Amino acid sequence: MSRYFLDIAYNGTAYHGWQIQENAHTVQAELEKCLSTLLRTRIEIMGSGRTDTGVHATHQIAHFDMEGHLPDDLVYKLNSFLPRDISIQSVRKVHDEAHTRFDATQRSYQYFMHQAKSPFLEKLSYYHPKVVDVPLMNEAAKKLLGEQNFESFSKVKTEVNTFICTIKEARWEKQNDSLVFHVTANRFLRGMVRALVGTLLDVGLGKLTVTDFVNIIESQDRRKAGRAVPAHGLYLTSVVYPDSVYRD
């Protein structure tokens, strides 16, 4: 039995998130169906983490186990079978104990917003026409760096052992009429990025000061933080592993 990592991209608009659910259309279910058909055996995959309904990914990683050798043209065949909103970028052989969720050392997300109305960005970026103070949002975003308790930005009633995360990057970038929030951490809580963006927007709109933002982090109370922004602006963009997990 050999283990493989798949590098996957998808537009999440039509899906109820990554993870298989009963009576729901999910990315994981589509991939398992296509892999099982092509490899003529029951294949189950494990993703590096969940993405919620409507969230996209440019680099999601999933692993699966397979007896024998994979076809050389598996990536081509998968992309022929899969719907147009899911694509496979690569498949790599890894060590048998490698795990896409537990071996990841860091993950990165980007949240996209546009401030000039565009029909071409619908469901791919969050339309937010109000003027925001980007330098002030970046000043607040710096307060996120390092190891901290981020319970204030987690979905409630979520089963985790700890709310501690280490954020390595958190910054806003302005690109013409668009804004992009970049965030990288060793791990993320459920709903964390969307809640961070919503709260930072409150800073940019003058509803909160940077000091207020710090107080929200320290409160460890989701009720103190801002709203979660819509899912369709969020993209999982990178999952990083140590070189030691790969066989090639």
What is the spatial distance between Cα 185 and Cα 60, in angstroms, rounded to a whole number? Answer: 15
Give pLDDT tens digits for 153-191.
999 877 788 999 999 999 999 988 999 999 999 999 999
Out of 78, 103, 128, a domain closes at 103
158 against 232, higher pLDDT: 232
Chain position carrying tokens 């397979």? 66
- Residue 37 pLDDT exceeds 90: yes
pLDDT score at 1: 86
Same domain, 10 and 73: yes
Measured CA to CA, the distance from residue 8 to residue 32 in angstroms comes to 13
Percent of the chain exceeding pLDDT 70 equals 100
| pTM score | 0.94
Are residue 68 and residue 84 in the same domain, yes or no?
Answer: yes
Query: Are 11 and 98 members of one domain?
Result: yes
**CATH number, domain at 70?**
3.30.70.580
Q: Indicate whether 246 belongs to any domain.
A: no
Q: Mean pLDDT, to the nearest integer, of 1-29?
A: 93
Number of domains in the chain: 2
What DSSP character marks residue 22?
T
Residue 175: what pLDDT?
Answer: 87
Look at residue 206 and tell me whether its pLDDT is greater than 90: yes
CA 107 – CA 239 distance, rounded (Å)? 5
Q: Which residues form the domain of 128? A: 111-178+185-237
Catalytic residues: 52
The rounded Cα 78 to chain-centroid distance in angstroms is 22
